[in-house]
């Protein structure tokens, strides 16, 4: 294969649709806009969900009931095997986790999950722990310190 033998895959390059270039082009007369009406006019754009002035479906449907998802606390998850990068006896808190890039973004807090094996004795400070993560940390002589949950914004 040489640079001069390279060519695009079949169907990748298509000709531009030239509107209004006579009947034989297939896109003459109304130029693919149909006949008359609002969408046939120049500069026409109708927003998504607009139904010509009729009350839109999204506003016709009643909005009732309780949605539990609005009241959940979103945690940033960290698995135990990721904590093996810290030195033995280290104190692992949110600042340390962000510094090494294990947690990014905004959330109410950090939750330590029990996936993987922990090989070091650590003092872990987090907003929440799974039961298996707490058991694995404490079985190695480490400590789990629960930090208060910050209000979610």
Tens of pLDDT along 70-87?
A: 888 899 999 999 999 999
Q: Which residues contact 77 (CB under 8 A, 6 or more apart)?
A: 110, 111, 113
The DSSP secondary-structure symbol of 102 reads: S
Tens of pLDDT along 7-60?
A: 999 999 998 999 999 999 889 999 999 999 988 999 988 899 999 999 999 999
pTM: 0.57
Tens of pLDDT along 120-148?
A: 999 999 999 999 999 999 999 999 999 98
**Cross-strand bridge partners of residue 91:** 123
Token duo for residue 9: 């895959």
Work out the angle at residue 52's Cα, subtended by the Cα atoms of residues 48 and 58, and round it to the nearest 5 degrees: 50
CATH class of 81-146: alpha beta
The beta-strand segments (E) located in 9-96 are 75-79, 91-92
State which H helix or E strand residue 60 sits in.
helix 57-60
Question: Residue ranges of the domains in the chain?
Answer: 81-146
């Amino acid at each position: 294969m040489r640079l001069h033998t390279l060519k695009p895959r079949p169907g990748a390059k298509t000709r531009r649709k030239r509107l209004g270039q006579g009947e034989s082009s297939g896109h003459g007369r109304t130029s693919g806009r149909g006949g008359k009406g609002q969408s046939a006019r120049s500069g026409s754009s109708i927003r998504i969900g607009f139904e010509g002035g009729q009350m839109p479906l999204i506003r016709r449907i009643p909005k009732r009931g309780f949605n539990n998802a609005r009241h959940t606390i979103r945690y940033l998850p960290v698995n135990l095997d990721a904590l093996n990068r810290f030195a033995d006896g280290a104190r692992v808190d949110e600042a340390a986790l962000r510094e090494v890039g294990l947690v990014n973004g905004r959330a109410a807090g950090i939750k330590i999950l029990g996936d993987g094996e922990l090989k070091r004795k650590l003092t872990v400070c987090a907003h929440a722990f799974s039961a298996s993560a707490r058991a694995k940390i404490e079985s190695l002589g480490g400590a789990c310190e629960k930090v208060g949950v910050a209000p979610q914004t």
